[in-house]
Structure 1
Amino acid sequence: MTVKTFATAGLLLFSVVALSSCGNTIRGMGKDTANTVNATQDAGRTVQKAAK
């Protein structure tokens, strides 16, 4: 195998790893956002109950 083949394979492997880690980060941010929305809605319900 030539150096060019090794370099191409290494770049491809690096790209796959980098893109998969980005996907995990985006998925985690989505979960965090959903949890924030849920917590805000729960707090609103608590305030509404307290006001009655």
Structure 2
Amino acid sequence: MQKKFLGLSAVLAVMTLTACETVQGAGRDIQTAGQVVQTESRQVQAGM
């Protein structure tokens, strides 16, 4: 699980650095990252 989270974090960091041209774009990237973290945490809590 920890390796999966670390890999996901690395991918999100790269996406943020490459796609973030404006403050609005950064906000969307951060929101998307938050949604991914929420989805992952729900799956962990459900035992998936």
Structure 1 length-normalised TM: 0.50
Tell me which structure has the larger Cα radius of gyration: 1
Structure 1 gap segments, 5+ residues each:
29-52
Structure with the bigger percentage of helix: 1
Structure 2 gap segments, 5+ residues each:
1-20
Rounded Cα–Cα distance in structure 1 between residues aligned with 2:40 and 2:22: 27
Aligned residues: 28
Task: Tell me how far 1:23 sits from its aligned partner.
Answer: 0.3
Q: Percent of aligned pairs with the same residue? A: 18
Question: Which aligned runs of 4 or more in structure 1 are off by greater than 3 angstroms?
Answer: none
Structure 1 residue 8 and structure 2 residue 28: aligned?
A: yes
Deviations 1:10-32 (A, max 9, x none): 0000100111000000117xxxx
